[in-house]
Structure 1
Amino acid sequence: MSFFSNLKKNPIFKILTNTFVIIFIPFIIWMLFFDENSYLTHREFNKEIEDLESTITFYEEKLDSDKEMIKNLQDSLKLERFAREKYLMKKENEDIYIIEFDTIKK
């Protein structure tokens, strides 16, 4: 019996048996882990937002480089060079030889 009487005098026991604490602790646990708007859900959403923002920056950079390429291809000589290199186009009565180098070292 002395154990319980000593336990009741303990300040930690008094705090933990407080009605407010008994209600507040499960509420916090519920809000952090089980609720629809839980911390875990928000963390997943934040990660998805970061991924989407990185995708946006990638496509913005790609768009800028494509705009620069379109600007460069306005010149007929650069357009002809691009068509020859990228799509292997040729003029009439012209032969194209493709030379590929073996990049794998033996």
Structure 2
Amino acid sequence: MGRLKLLWALVSHYKYAITIVVGILLVGFVDENSFMHRVQLEMQISDLTDEINRYNEQNAADLQQLRELRRGAKAYERIARERYFMQADDEDIYVLSDDEKPVTSNNETIE
């Protein structure tokens, strides 16, 4: 019984401090509008802003290519050669790549 009275005296003496600490913990970590949730949303907004900027740059590049296509047949020919490796009847195309080949292991003991 002595411990209970001592605990009650301690709680009643520091009731405002305990209330403030519990309130800060609730608002900071547990609540739906907590600071941690706010930081996560700010990071998500930053990622989405970067994605919007990337799409805007891609849109500008595609619009530039569309303008080139409207100019004439030379643009069609250039794009067909660069992207789709099309060729004229009297020419050969060689594709050179700097990509590294995937490393494969012939270790049969793994399976």
The alignment's TM-score, normalised by the length of structure 2, stands at: 0.66
**Partner Cα distance (2:48, 2:55) in 1:** 11
Gaps in structure 2 of 5+ consecutive residues: 1-12, 101-111
Residues 90 and 101 of structure 1: CA distance in aligned 2, closer, same or farther (over 3 Å): closer
**What's the CA shift for 1:99?**
5.1
Structure 1 counterpart of 2:48 = 52
Within a 5 Å distance, the mapping from 1:86-105 to structure 2 comes to 86-91=83-88, 93-98=89-94, 100=96
Q: 2:35 aligns with which of 14, 26, 39?
A: 39
Residues 55 and 20 of structure 1: CA distance in aligned 2, closer, same or farther (over 3 Å): same
Q: 1:79 aligns with which of 69, 73, 76?
A: 76
Matched, 1:28 2:28: no
For the Cα contact (< 8 Å) 2:69–2:76, is it kept in 1? Answer: yes
**What's the CA shift for 1:102?**
6.6
* Secondary structure of 1:30 counterpart: helix
**Partner Cα distance (1:33, 1:103) in 2:** 47
Deviations 1:30-79 (A, max 9, x none): 11011122111111111011001100000001100110011112221121
For the Cα contact (< 8 Å) 2:27–2:35, is it kept in 1? Answer: yes
What is the aligned length?
A: 87
Gaps in structure 1 of 5+ consecutive residues: 1-16
Structure 1 counterpart of 2:7 = none
Mark the structure with the bigger radius of gyration: 1
**What's the CA shift for 1:101?**
6.7
What's the RMSD between the two structures over aligned residues?
Answer: 2.2
